[in-house]
Amino acid sequence: MFRLSEIEHTFRLPPHRLDRPLAEAIKGELESLFVDKVIAYLGLCISIYDIRSIDGGFVFPGDGASTYTVKFRLIIFCPFVGEVIAGRLIDSTDEGLKLSLGFFDDIHVPVSKLPQGSCSETDPDNKGKVRWMWNYGDGQKFPIDNLDEIRLRVHDVRYPKVPLEQESSSKNEEESSSKNEEESSSKNEQKSRSKKPFAPMEIMGFLDCDGLGPISWWV
């Protein structure tokens, strides 16, 4: 689930950090730069493990701060494909499940990767949500709920590209159609459904295997 990666980074050390010894000041600046950020095709940075070397300290003309080149190691969260991890259910819709590890919320299990013979029921408590059930042959149904941890196998780790532009054209459309209230409201509904906040890193999970799914199924 976790691993180390060695990084070299050249950056400007702002002078307000200089009230601490240099090594600590640099560590503080690195933490604000990297911790809790996703590096594409590497993973989510958890913490600065250690600092290997500090070079430089050059002050560029016209700049009120020194620039350092630092080699350091980061603790990276990036489960490998095929790894089994345990998370908790945070969302269950007709598109599949969404699970969370507490510090990482973008784990998706699409419908095609649910246990074979899964069926959904509309959730009476939450509008627009569904409850997934595993239909185990002889009429027994096992619900997937957030009562206990769910084990999943990592199927794929994706790093979607950062969207460059807001969807301005669709906004205009919305304005033009605002005269017809019914139409716009139905469109809005569709939009809110398809609209997902951008996630720089997504883990696709897999549940269709003996031993995967809520722990209570197997223990």
Give dist(CA 141, CA 217) in Å, integer.
11
CA distances from 38 to 86, 179, 202 (A): 21, 42, 11
Of the pair 90, 170, the CB lying nearest other proteins is at 90
How near is the Cβ of 14 to other proteins at its closest, in Å? 18
Output DSSP code: residue 199: -
- At residue 196, the 3 state secondary structure works out as coil
Of the pair 19, 175, the CB lying nearest other proteins is at 19
How near is the Cβ of 84 to other proteins at its closest, in Å? 5
Of the pair 121, 156, the CB lying nearest other proteins is at 156
Where does this chain bind other proteins (CB under 8 A)?
Answer: 1-9, 31, 35-36, 39, 42, 46-47, 49, 71, 73, 75, 77, 80, 82-86, 101-103, 148, 151, 153, 209-212, 218-219
Give dist(CA 80, CA 88) in Å, integer.
19
Of the pair 21, 61, the CB lying nearest other proteins is at 21
CA distances from 123 to 94, 112, 116, 131, 171 (A): 11, 20, 21, 6, 32
Q: Which residues contact 191 (CB under 8 A, 6 or more apart)?
A: 170
E strand or H helix at 27: helix 22-34
How near is the Cβ of 155 to other proteins at its closest, in Å? 13
Of the pair 9, 158, the CB lying nearest other proteins is at 9
How near is the Cβ of 95 to other proteins at its closest, in Å? 24
Burial 108-128 (b: 16+ CB within 10 A, else e): bbeeebbbeebebeeeeeeee
Of the pair 145, 148, the CB lying nearest other proteins is at 148
Strand partners, 207: none
How near is the Cβ of 20 to other proteins at its closest, in Å? 9
How near is the Cβ of 36 to other proteins at its closest, in Å? 4
